[in-house]
Amino acid sequence: MSEKTAPEGKGPNTGRAEPGRHANGANGEAAQDGRSFKEGALEYFHYRGSVERAREVLRLFQAAKKAASIYPPNHEICLGAFAEFMRGFREFLTRREAFSLQVVGEEFFFEGRLLARESVLYYPLIKEFQEKGIGGLSIGAGLGAGEFVGFLYLLNRGSEELRAQGGLKALLDAKGISNIAIDDPGTWREKPPESRERSTAREEYYDAVNVIRELADQVVSDRRLSTGKANRVVGAMLSRVGENRSAVLGLATIKSYDEYTSFHSVNVLILSLALGSMLPLDRGALIILGTGALLHDLGKITIPQGVLTKSGPLTAQEWEMMRDHPARGADILLAQPGVHPLSVMVAYEHHARYDLRGYPRINGKRLQGLFSRIVQVCDVYDAMTTTRPYQRARTPDQAMRVLVKEMGSSFDPLLVKVFMDMMGMFPVGTLVRLVTGETAVVYEAAGEDAAWPRVKVIRDAEGGEVEPRVMDLARLVEKVGEGGRAILESIHPEDAGIDPQDYL
């Protein structure tokens, strides 16, 4: 993933890092100014490592902030989260002298690099920064744990309260917190849009997540749904699928542990549109299918969060609530003008199963509707490949095997076959070991043939990091394939400590 977008400072930089300074390294073009390739490559890897650690710092920051918003500072959960942050921050300091984060529009940047995934995952944090007048954040190497904790509790004060007290900056001064500096809003701005194409599809994904959040909030507050907004999201995603199905399928590998339902809904939308367009369905039908897919779990807004994220077994009563979400969702959708009845049917039938042994029980019908069958395959696939409080994610090929095993019982066999054709046995985003011993991420389907995708090689046979390079598996098979195989096995990203998203 090469990010060329860089925020440029238009005001004084209160921080200690220079955004954009490592743009060459980030783009792998470091050898141009006369230095040896090796020097360039070393700088590149150093840079990549720094970005990874910065992401980790941000993740730990978010976790510590959350803990501090719930518990008092001496609670063991807080103590653990604060210690974790300090550990991550010290690790970061082995690469850089200070940590800095810039807010540009509704996105986070680190040293000129868009943190696309974090901008989606921590969107509420960006919103909060905006409300509290934080345009960026710098944390100096001298940061002490006490200072950090003091900062978190200040930051967690309400925006009204902060304003009344003269703003966060003044409070930091008053409390003697000198290793954390805040940039004013608007300190950073983006470079012109021509360098941004690569992130457009991601932005659309992120817009879609926002829309589903808004739709859900709206339904909770006044039971009304803006169908226009839903249609726009479905239309935009449909155009993307038409342009480059393989790239869009890569987006569907973005997951959120904390905010499962919104991300899941967008993933199911993407997968369903992609599958529907393979059948093929026409545009009108795809819009109806997509609307049903995006809204299929809307009924979950009636279930308490604690039940949705429970790690242990559900009680009979909780299970009853869960089983009711398709009917609740359909009720909500039926009450909205402008939602097509077939989209409502998707919400109602998406857990009914192909053999109609799921829920709710559907009487007087021999088969789920076609759109419901499509969404059911995509729903279960996305759910299986996401880590949840009660399950570790399956790798995409493991999930694919489950679909195959349940062909004819849970799933429409024909649809599973088309889905497999589309995704390949090792779908985009799967981390794999090749016959050469190298580690790679499945990058895109090659032309029409999903069986021989292109991969991005990211580790050599000894496990050493290499500059990512795209390779055609069909070529590899010609050269060294063992019985026509180019991929030995999939690897669980958590076991390898690699996030395939970084390479898509």
Catalog residues that contact Fe ion under the rule CB under 5 A. 297, 379
- Position 104, amino acid: V
Residues 6+ apart with CB under 8 A from 43: 22, 24, 25, 30
Sign of the dihedral defined by the CA atoms of residues 475, 458, 206, 347, in that order: positive
Smallest distance, Å, CB 256 to Fe ion?
14
Smallest distance, Å, CB 30 to Fe ion?
44
Nearer to Fe ion, 104 or 288 (CB): 288
3-class DSSP assignment, residue 465: strand
Q: Can you read off the two tokens belonging to residue 201?
A: 């599809």
Residues 6+ apart with CB under 8 A from 17: 96, 97, 98, 99, 100, 111, 138
Helix residue ranges per DSSP H, 197-356: 197-222, 227-243, 245-251, 260-278, 283-294, 305-308, 316-323, 325-334, 341-349
Smallest distance, Å, CB 257 to Fe ion?
16
Nearer to Fe ion, 82 or 205 (CB): 205
How is 348-380 classified by DSSP, letter by letter?
HHTTS-TTS-SSS---S-SS--HHHHHHHHHHH
Smallest distance, Å, CB 47 to Fe ion?
38
Smallest distance, Å, CB 51 to Fe ion?
32
Smallest distance, Å, CB 227 to Fe ion?
20
Nearer to Fe ion, 61 or 381 (CB): 381
Smallest distance, Å, CB 493 to Fe ion?
22
Smallest distance, Å, CB 499 to Fe ion?
23
Nearer to Fe ion, 325 or 454 (CB): 325
Nearer to Fe ion, 246 or 256 (CB): 256
Smallest distance, Å, CB 344 to Fe ion?
14
Nearer to Fe ion, 249 or 378 (CB): 378
- The two most distant CA atoms of the chain are separated, in Å, by 75
Nearest 5°: CA angle at 172, between 166 and 174?
Answer: 75
Smallest distance, Å, CB 301 to Fe ion?
12
Count Cβ atoms below 10 Å from residue 414 Cβ, excluding itself. 12
Q: Can you read off the two tokens belonging to residue 429?
A: 């985003």
Nearer to Fe ion, 318 or 465 (CB): 318
How is 231-261 classified by DSSP, letter by letter?
HHHHHHHHHHHHH-HHHHHHHTT---STTHH
Nearer to Fe ion, 255 or 459 (CB): 255
Exposed/middle/buried for residue 255 (C-beta within 10 Å: 0-12, 13-18, 19+):
buried
395-401 LR contacts (CB < 8 Å, sep 24+): 395/430, 395/431, 395/490, 395/491, 395/492, 395/493, 396/253, 396/423, 396/426, 396/427, 396/429, 396/430, 396/490, 397/425, 397/426, 397/427, 397/430, 397/490, 398/490, 400/425, 400/427
Nearer to Fe ion, 286 or 380 (CB): 380
Nearer to Fe ion, 81 or 295 (CB): 295
Residue 27, phi then psi, degrees to nearest 5: -95, 5
